[in-house]
Structure 1
Amino acid sequence: MKTLIRPLGAAAVAFALLAGGTATAQAYNLSGGHLPTTSPSYKINGGSSASRTAWSAGVSDWNNAGAGVSPSTTSGSATVALSEANDSSVSWDGITYWNNGANGVMTNVSAQLNAAYTAGYSASKREGVAAHEVGHTLGLAHSNSCVLMNPTTPDRTNCGVYRPQQDDINGVRAIYGASSRAAAQPGTVMHLSQAESFKDLKSLHRSADAVVVASVGGQSSTVKDGIPFTDHNLKVRAWLKGGSSTGSATVHQTGGPVDGALMQDDRDPLLQEGQTGIYFLRQYAPGKFFIIGGADGRFEITAGNSVSALASSNVKDVSGSLSDLVSRTQGLTRAEGSR
Structure 2
Amino acid sequence: MSAEFSTLSAFRDLLEAAPGADQTALGEAEARNGQLTKPPGALGRLEDMAIWYAGWRGTARPEITAPQVIVFAGNHGVTAQGISAFPAEVTEQMVLNFQHGGAAINQLSRAAGATLDVIALSLETPTADFTQGPAMQEDEVVAALNAGWNAVNPDADLLVVGEMGIGNTTSAAAIAHALYGGVAEDWVGRGTGVDDAGMVNKARVVREGVAAHGAGDALDILRCLGGRELAAMAGAIARARNLRIPVILDGFICSAAAATLAETVPGALDHVIAGHASAEAAHGAVLAKLGKEPVLRLNMRLGEASGAAVAINVLKSAVACHSGMATFAEAGVSDG
TM-score, normalized by the shorter chain, greater than 0.5? no
More strand by share: 1
Q: Which has the higher helix share?
A: 2
Give the TM-score normalised by the residue count of structure 2: 0.24
Tell me which of the two structures has the higher relative contact order, counting C-alpha pairs closer than 8 angstroms and 6 or more residues apart: 2
